[in-house]
Chains A and B, each alone.
Chain A
Amino acid sequence: MLSTLQPPRSLSLLPLRRFQISKTIVSAASSKTIDTSVISPPQSQILTTRRSLLSGETTAVEIAKSYLSRIRLTEPQLKCFLHVSENVLKDAQEIDQRIAKGEELGPLAGVLIGVKDNICTQGMPSTAASRILEHYRPPFDATAVKKIKELGGIVVGKTNMDEFGMGSTTEASAFQVTANPWDLSRVPGGSSGGSAAAVAARQCMVSLGSDTGGSVRQPASFCGVVGLKPTYGRVSRFGLMAYASSLDVIGCFGSTVADAGMLLHAISGYDRFDSTSSKQDVPEFQSQFLSVDQFGSKPLNGVKVGIIRETLEDGVDSGVRSATQEAASHLEALGCVLTEVSLPSFSLGLPAYYVIASSESSSNLSRYDGVRYGNQVMAEELNKLYECSRGEGFGGEVKMRILMGTYALSAGYYDAYYKRAQQVRTLIRKDFKAALEQNDILISPAAPSAAYKIGEKKDDPLAMYAGDIMTVNVNLAGLPAMVLPCGLVEGGPSGLPVGLQMIGAAFDEEKLLKVGHIFEQTLKGSSFVPPLLANVA
């Protein structure tokens, strides 16, 4: 299954080469020819780990120790984790014992995985970064986590996030603010900011996030990692604390497309505990991950790529726009046929998203009432118990969205808000379908800007919501999308990464991974390693 991959050029566990950039806006794809001689393309950490374990070059315990020590070093600045598992070394030992006994190893054996805190891990704190669930330990693993464990993966810990996934900066965590490894004064994006930053800082090899309106893709863009949001229904939501059930998906972060793809493969598939999970077959994504020297001169010859016009209009930073356009040029150089497409309903998505997501969240968060688990405030009277438990347990952003959603679902407003938003959703789905009948994939920026400063948009929710414009439509349509770093813009000590979003047809993650992998492996100077890490290393 993994044989199609060439042995790595370097056996170092961590490709820690730092990508030098000039002070001007960096074009990562300035060359029209495929030139990989300057710097070797990024290597899959999952495969590197597997090879070094199987060859006996190192042990799972050694690998785990090196990651734990990196966590110890970087965590005080980054604050990616809400909880680091005390069992990492024990789990690694078990892997080593299996190797010693010559037992079969799962494809994720020894792979260190960060798990977003809204995904249930049995016996390990799972709080969705909310006070209302402080100290809560679920009695079961989410299906995605269960699958990872069955395949030998090791859960490193629980990553920080915006409370219940509501936010775009990870500042809405009830417990801590995570910093962007590229610039500690900036946000890592959100809501899966902890998962993205942890992978960027190599605190773990891959991580799980969740994406309701862009919560995997936008932080992937901000942190310079690959973020993969699968088709709705591809991955079981069982064990994912619901924010907006019809939009939520569990997604994957990796430092390479191959890593994100292999993690997705591990967690995909029908689950009888989630009625909305799909019975669609899960293809072997791995066969797409050819090594560079197996590529032809035009490895993406004939692949039809539509660049979404509405995503490059006003309100998008010029650096982001040019990085996207140059990424498009790079795809052309690889053989893609590029056309501009228009999605007339594009601008309707953001308001529709906020109505639907808030409405569903107002219902999904009703269970946090202080009666059975979580934060309970003693009160003389029932309504007071609810009021105080929820009043103290939820943060401001969560309360605001519950109020918005409650309002939108109220008698007399339902038709004007929720019903209309659903109609918009149908429209958006139709527009995407039409565009994807003409094209294999669609591309756009992942976010209108690179990472901004901590605190910059904290008091301006509308400005923050506007930042989701590139991603929410994809959730409304339920489509798969991947964000991968495509360039750097000025900012921070050594530039800030910018992500390219690729959107595919439903259940066609395979194509995204194929295009993404070739794009990544051929991108000149493609090691997106944050400066913080170079210093630590």
Chain B
Amino acid sequence: MSTTLFRTFQPNQFSLLGTSLLRRRRSNNFSVRSCGSQTTTTHEAKQSSPTRVAPKNHKSNKLDEILRDYEAVIGIETHVQLSTLTKAFCSCSNNYGSYPNISICPVCMGLPGALPVLNSKVVEFGVRLGLALNCDLSLKSKFDRKQYFYPDLPKGYQISQFDIPIASGGYVDLDIPLEFGGGHRRFGITRVHMEEDAGKLLHSDTGDYSQVDLNRAGVPLLEIVSEPDMRSGIEAAEYACEMQRIARYLGVSNGNMQEGSLRCDVNISIRPIGQAEFGTKVEIKNLNAFSAISRAIDFEISRQALLYNQGKADEIVTETRLWEEGAQKTVTMRKKEGLADYRYFPEPDLPEVILTKEYVDSIRASLPELPEAKRRRYEAMGLGMQDVLFLANDVSVAEYFDAVIGKGAEVKLAANWIMSDIAAYLKNEKLSINDIKLTPHELAELIAAIKDGTISGKIGKEVSSLPFNNESSFVWINATFSIFADTV
């Protein structure tokens, strides 16, 4: 959980122009900053001044010039695995361990005669996410069957939503961190629909055989399809980051990318600036971190721009490419021969999903304050964007901060305490903010005590380092004050 405290996305700050990958291959003297670090705080980020311009040599200059003539068009399909107790269409536990095929039943195994029964939580989560993304909800939606053969797909079709998704036509607002240029963005959301996950194939080391693990089969997903509104790797990564944040704020998913609870497939094409038509679209899969999204897109932009520039635009084909983390490049996974025909048709085993206005209203009323609203509120309190983004990034941190200022602590001081001392402590101890014993009330008292001169800031910091990991209470911390006062 320690990873959730801080902004989880810290891509290479020098790769804004999407050229670093190619450059890195060519020059030995260019070192890429650690990109995978998930615990880099904005505190640290502040110290290294945001740089928009990468160190240059002649080659990169040339590539940059090429890139300047093209615009990337990026859309993202995000699969959010829902943290329901049971699967989407059966009563199997959705919380399976590492052993294969322990959380399965006739329904999710696709045995003859078994029928799906919709888990109402999936609808609730769909509505929550749909509302959070400012979508129009379909009061009457339905499920469809998406048909294809694969050993991890027990029924030979995936229960999904085709022409009438539960939510559509929304948008998401986000702020680009200052170190990436800053600015506010609004990206369109085409649709949100409910579907089920497939199982997993386990391939033998020798490659002689594969085994099927159906624990994941039937786990509920929400697929979020964005409009092709993003123009850079940074924007795409920030969009994905915001999806994770919203899912966590809403409590619909743990949003963990490594575990596959949040999966992003990127569609990208480039076109000469000024051209209205889209270029040939390439899909990138296997993006297991936000930094991978950013870098894969930047790589892909460079690759496609170079092909355009060399007059080889016809070598850009509709295909699915895999991001190879080790090699830091995308490679062809499969070329699409025409459009895949999934032969969608309405799922006859499930009735239509009917939402009443009252139901939607009750869910709307129960929505928490969402990241965008929090950011705007923090901003209005006078906090700088760095602080705003830090505090609103993680819902637990935001709640902690809100609780501290709720107890009367001064906003700026509370923000500084959380972002510096507490953050550093949590990072060292690899804890999340939920693990610390210092209650918001105590922190508020501490801040007040320092402010009115009861104790000095220096002592305050010493004090605060004690109670984090001890059983503490307000009474106890007051006692500590007096002890410190005595000894000092």
The residues of A with any CB-CB pair to B shorter than 8 Å are: 119-120, 126, 128, 133, 136, 138-140, 142, 237-242, 244-246, 272-276, 359-360, 362-363, 365-369, 371-373, 382, 386, 406, 409-411, 414, 418
Select which of A240, A272, A373 is within 8 A of B111 by beta carbon: A373
CB distance A372 to B351 under 8 Å?
no
Total count of chain B residues near the partner, CB < 8 A: 29
| Residues of A close to B106: CB separation below 8 A | 138-140
CB distance B115 to A238 under 8 Å?
yes
Q: Can you list, as one digit per residue, whether each of B321-348 has a CB less than 8 Å from chain A (1) or not (0)?
A: 0000000000000000001010111001
Q: Does B468 contact A (CB under 8 A)?
A: no
CB distance A120 to B112 under 8 Å?
yes
Instruction: Kindly specify which of B1-9, B153-161, B311-319, B387-395 makes contact with the partner chain.
Output: B153-161
Q: Which of B114, B118, B341 has the most CB of A within 10 A?
A: B114
Instruction: Give chain B nearest CB distance to A403 CB in angstroms.
Output: 12
Select which of B115, B145, B341, B351 is within 8 A of A363 by beta carbon: B145
| Residues of A close to B114: CB separation below 8 A | 238-239
Instruction: Give chain B nearest CB distance to A184 CB in angstroms.
Output: 32
| Residues of B close to A382: CB separation below 8 A | 151
Output the nearest chain A residue to B341 by Cβ-Cβ distance: A411
| Residues of A close to B147: CB separation below 8 A | 363, 366, 409
> Once A and B bind, how many residue pairs between them come within 8 Å at the CB atom?
101
| Residues of B close to A273: CB separation below 8 A | 115, 117
| Residues of B close to A142: CB separation below 8 A | 113
CA distance A120 to B241 in the complex (A): 47
CB distance A366 to B149 under 8 Å?
yes
CB distance A133 to B112 under 8 Å?
yes
CB distance A367 to B156 under 8 Å?
yes
| Residues of B close to A275: CB separation below 8 A | 115-118, 349-351
Q: Does B109 contact A (CB under 8 A)?
A: yes
| Residues of B close to A120: CB separation below 8 A | 112-113
Select which of B112, B348, B351 is within 8 A of A360 by beta carbon: B348
| Residues of A close to B111: CB separation below 8 A | 138-140, 372-373
| Residues of B close to A369: CB separation below 8 A | 149, 151, 156
Known: A120-B112, A244-B348, A276-B349. 10 other contacts (CB 8 A): A139-B111, A274-B117, A367-B112, A367-B154, A367-B155, A371-B212, A372-B110, A406-B343, A409-B343, A411-B343
CB distance A410 to B343 under 8 Å?
yes
Q: Which of A386, A406, A411 has the most CB of B within 10 A?
A: A411
| Residues of B close to A274: CB separation below 8 A | 115, 117
A-B contacts, 16 listed (Cβ < 8 Å): A120-B113, A138-B111, A238-B114, A240-B113, A246-B348, A275-B117, A276-B348, A276-B351, A360-B345, A363-B157, A366-B155, A367-B154, A371-B151, A414-B343, A414-B345, A418-B345
| Residues of B close to A368: CB separation below 8 A | 112
CA distance A34 to B139 in the complex (A): 57
Output the nearest chain B residue to A383 by Cβ-Cβ distance: B149
| Residues of B close to A418: CB separation below 8 A | 345
Instruction: Give chain A nearest CB distance to B339 CB in angstroms.
Output: 7
Q: Which of B111, B339, B343 has the most CB of A within 10 A?
A: B343
| Residues of B close to A240: CB separation below 8 A | 113
CB distance B349 to A138 under 8 Å?
no
CA distance A119 to B114 in the complex (A): 11
| Residues of A close to B156: CB separation below 8 A | 363, 365-367, 369
Q: Which of A133, A238, A371 has the most CB of B within 10 A?
A: A371
CA distance A386 to B148 in the complex (A): 12
CA distance A23 to B409 in the complex (A): 105
CA distance A411 to B344 in the complex (A): 9
Select which of B112, B151, B351 is within 8 A of A138 by beta carbon: B112
CA distance A120 to B109 in the complex (A): 15
CB distance B341 to A410 under 8 Å?
yes
Instruction: Give chain A nearest CB distance to B129 CB in angstroms.
Output: 23
Select which of B118, B157, B351 is within 8 A of A366 by beta carbon: B157
CA distance A126 to B111 in the complex (A): 12
Output the nearest chain A residue to B147 by Cβ-Cβ distance: A363
Output the nearest chain B residue to A374 by Cβ-Cβ distance: B112
Output the nearest chain A residue to B345 by Cβ-Cβ distance: A409
| Residues of A close to B212: CB separation below 8 A | 371-372
Instruction: Give chain B nearest CB distance to A137 CB in angstroms.
Output: 11
| Residues of A close to B112: CB separation below 8 A | 120, 126, 128, 133, 136, 138, 241-242, 367-368
Select which of B113, B117, B345, B350 is within 8 A of A272 by beta carbon: B117
| Residues of A close to B350: CB separation below 8 A | 275-276
CA distance A237 to B112 in the complex (A): 11
CA distance A382 to B343 in the complex (A): 21
| Residues of B close to A138: CB separation below 8 A | 106, 111-113
Instruction: Give chain A nearest CB distance to B316 CB in angstroms.
Output: 25
| Residues of A close to B154: CB separation below 8 A | 367, 371-372
| Residues of B close to A242: CB separation below 8 A | 112-113, 349
Output the nearest chain A residue to B109 by Cβ-Cβ distance: A372
Q: Which 6 A-B pairs have the closest CB atoms?
A: A366-B156, A245-B348, A246-B348, A409-B343, A239-B113, A241-B112
Q: Which of B145, B155, B156, B157 has the most CB of A within 10 A?
A: B156
| Residues of B close to A238: CB separation below 8 A | 113-115
CA distance A363 to B145 in the complex (A): 8
| Residues of B close to A362: CB separation below 8 A | 343
Instruction: Give chain B nearest CB distance to A250 CB in angstroms.
Output: 11
CA distance A372 to B112 in the complex (A): 11
Q: Which of B111, B154, B344 has the most CB of A within 10 A?
A: B111
CA distance A238 to B345 in the complex (A): 21
Output the nearest chain A residue to B338 by Cβ-Cβ distance: A411
Instruction: Give chain B nearest CB distance to A320 CB in angstroms.
Output: 33
Instruction: Give chain B nearest CB distance to A455 CB in angstroms.
Output: 29
CB distance B149 to A386 under 8 Å?
yes
CA distance A372 to B155 in the complex (A): 10
CB distance B110 to A367 under 8 Å?
yes
CA distance A416 to B13 in the complex (A): 54
CA distance A120 to B112 in the complex (A): 8
Instruction: Give chain B nearest CB distance to A393 CB in angstroms.
Output: 13
CB distance B113 to A241 under 8 Å?
yes
Instruction: Give chain A nearest CB distance to B476 CB in angstroms.
Output: 52
Instruction: Give chain A nearest CB distance to B29 CB in angstroms.
Output: 47
Q: Which of A272, A275, A406 has the most CB of B within 10 A?
A: A275
CA distance A244 to B343 in the complex (A): 16
Output the nearest chain B residue to A390 by Cβ-Cβ distance: B149
CA distance A497 to B113 in the complex (A): 33
CA distance A359 to B344 in the complex (A): 11
Instruction: Give chain A nearest CB distance to B26 CB in angstroms.
Output: 41
CA distance A414 to B147 in the complex (A): 14
| Residues of B close to A126: CB separation below 8 A | 112-113
Output the nearest chain A residue to B155 by Cβ-Cβ distance: A367
CA distance A304 to B331 in the complex (A): 73
CA distance A128 to B112 in the complex (A): 10
| Residues of B close to A246: CB separation below 8 A | 348
Instruction: Give chain A nearest CB distance to B111 CB in angstroms.
Output: 7
CB distance B113 to A359 under 8 Å?
no
Q: Which of B112, B115, B147, B212 has the most CB of A within 10 A?
A: B112
CB distance A245 to B349 under 8 Å?
yes
Instruction: Give chain B nearest CB distance to A125 CB in angstroms.
Output: 12
CA distance A3 to B350 in the complex (A): 40
CA distance A136 to B106 in the complex (A): 14
CA distance A368 to B351 in the complex (A): 24
| Residues of A close to B145: CB separation below 8 A | 363
Q: Can you list, as one digit per residue, whether each of B81-123 has a CB less than 8 Å from chain A (1) or not (0)?
A: 0000000000000000000000000100111111111100000
